[in-house]
Structure 1
Amino acid sequence: MSYPHSAARPVRIGVQIQPQYCSYAEIRRAVAQYEELGVDILFNWDHFFPVYGPADGEHYECWTMLGAWAEATSRVEFGPLVSCNSYRNPDLLADMARTVDHISDGRLILGIGAGWNEKDYDEYGYEFGTPKSRLAALGEGLERIERRWQRLNPAPTRKIPVLVGGNGERKTLRLAARHADIWHGFGDATELAHKHGVLDAWCAETGRDPAEIERSTRVFRRGPEEVGQDLVDVGTRLFQLVARSPDFDPAPVKDWLDFRDDVNKRLVAS
């Protein structure tokens, strides 16, 4: 089976720097290290507490950090994987993203999702609701963000890429078909091939060219020799790794960067 939606796209490597159990100085050093290595995108996440491990461990807020990254970097793209739609008024989030876009001279990616971590909601006073209500709010929020970007002065420096994360076929992938420049999903090559087909079908229904949407997945603890080519073969082009404190080990990232460069040479040659 061929995957024309990704045929012309190069492979890219993203690294999510987990903002927990460390100092911000360590995060800043990791950001500089990965940008120097040649990573394409850096991500953090949008939570208020550690996602695993000791619940009272060190942790840092998402968007304040992204503003600092905008000043601390010069080449790499960056963004949240993913910002929770529930935590901020969507018009405010659009303005925040536009501002960070300008600070960085157009390098922000707006990753966004419906939210899932009940502790974040309870501790910070947000209504948790249900998966159905949170997805409905995400759909409304994406439309509000797009409208607000058209009204802001100054406008964003570019069409800010939107990344939508999640595997749900009836709602999340439909939202991705309407709004996303990048879809981030989970699973092995077989499962992702199926999800890509569902996304393509939603694109056809909404009149969207599926080639406009980059396909992304997480490859934490899996090397390129294990899964890389299979994922490329089903159309995956953005590979997201995880960097954890205390050392934010660059060795796995280097392996994936070598894989990226090799595949991209072959894609160009073909």
Structure 2
Amino acid sequence: MTRPLRIAVQLQPQHADYAQIRDAVRQAEDLGVDVAFNWDHFFPLSGGRDGKHFECWTMLAAWAEQTTRIEIGALVTCNSYRNPDLLADMARTVDHISEGRLILGIGSGWFEHDYTEYGYAFGTAGGRLDALGEALPRIESRLARLNPRPTRDIPVLIGGGGEKKALRLVAQHADVWHTFSDGDELRHKIEVLHRHCADIGRDPAEIEVSVNFLGGPEREEQPEVEGEQLRALGATLFTVGLTGPDYDFTAVRRWLAWRDEVNATS
């Protein structure tokens, strides 16, 4: 399966007024970004824990009304924070508001401060992955029974890299796998994912590989240096993280130019 390259931004909903976040997603769409992600946390992850911060899914509903072309989603929803059937209904609703542009990004959760401050049991990493494994079939079942049904088969993005549990869940349920791995580690994890797919008889080409751009500002002038390395390993969805309050798109413009050049010659 040959996929075009896609560029996403993660508009981290921290240290900004909502008007600044709203303007950032509008700018992302105007520039031609393919996907706008936020994240599912209750506190900033950098720059001071007591800084401004906004909730994930209410924001996605607003983005769905505000935009017309760009796909939207969370990178990623924390499975622990919502009943799986409720999450399916929320996703179906945002899917309809956006007229079929939602990506359902989900993971097992990891930020302990969110859990303790909001009264969720943190448990263990393995236990949280087991809970995700139990939730995904419930989400799929509820989506199939809702009235009205989603406008499309909502793509499921799973974030995680554990080789025994997380990648098995990716093989079983995901349309997109998101990872922070690169280089030899990414190559190895893709091999593990392919083995999980073989075990269940799934074509791994059905799963889009999604990565973060990891290069610093010194490489912004040459996105192809990093991008081509990741592309050669199988990645086709590339996410640039932007934080508030400024949401500087300077580097994003370079990634978009690289995407357009590659797609035009592929």
The alignment's TM-score, normalised by the length of structure 1, stands at 0.95
Aligned Cα root-mean-square deviation (Å): 1.0
1:54 aligns with 2:48: yes
Partner of 1:142: 136
Q: Is the 8 A contact 1:15 1:39 kept in 2?
A: yes
Task: Find the partner of 2:198 among 196, 199, 204.
Answer: 204
Aligned mates of 2:159, 2:3 — CA distance in 1:
19
Say which SS state the counterpart of residue 30 (structure 1) adopts. Answer: helix
The within-5 A match list for 1:92-241 is 92-222=86-216, 223=220, 224-241=223-240
Aligned mates of 2:246, 2:55 — CA distance in 1:
20
C-alpha deviation, 1:73, in angstroms: 0.3
1:20 aligns with 2:14: yes
Say which SS state the counterpart of residue 111 (structure 1) adopts. Answer: strand
Aligned mates of 1:131, 1:150 — CA distance in 2:
29
Q: More deviation in 223-232 or 134-143?
A: 223-232
- Kindly provide the amino acid, as one letter, of the partner of residue 259 in structure 1: W
1:8 aligns with 2:2: yes
Q: Is the 8 A contact 1:220 1:240 kept in 2?
A: no
Say which SS state the counterpart of residue 176 (structure 1) adopts. Answer: helix
* TM-superposition CA deviations, 1:39-81 (whole Å, max 9, x none): 0000000000111221111000000000000000000001000
Aligned mates of 1:150, 1:176 — CA distance in 2:
20
Partner of 1:246: 245
In structure 2, the gaps of 5 or more residues are none
Q: Is the 8 A contact 1:173 1:198 kept in 2?
A: yes
Q: More deviation in 29-38 or 246-255?
A: 246-255
**How many pairs align?**
261
Say which SS state the counterpart of residue 106 (structure 2) adopts. Answer: strand
Q: More deviation in 222-231 or 166-175?
A: 222-231
- Kindly provide the amino acid, as one letter, of the partner of residue 104 in structure 2: L
Say which SS state the counterpart of residue 164 (structure 1) adopts. Answer: strand
C-alpha deviation, 1:247, in angstroms: 1.7
In structure 1, the gaps of 5 or more residues are 1-6
Moved over 6 A (4+): none
* TM-superposition CA deviations, 1:84-131 (whole Å, max 9, x none): 000000000000000000000000000000000111111111111101
C-alpha deviation, 1:167, in angstroms: 1.1
The alignment's TM-score, normalised by the length of structure 2, stands at 0.96
Percent identity (aligned):
62
Q: Is the 8 A contact 1:41 1:78 kept in 2?
A: yes
Partner of 1:261: 260
Aligned mates of 1:145, 1:37 — CA distance in 2:
33
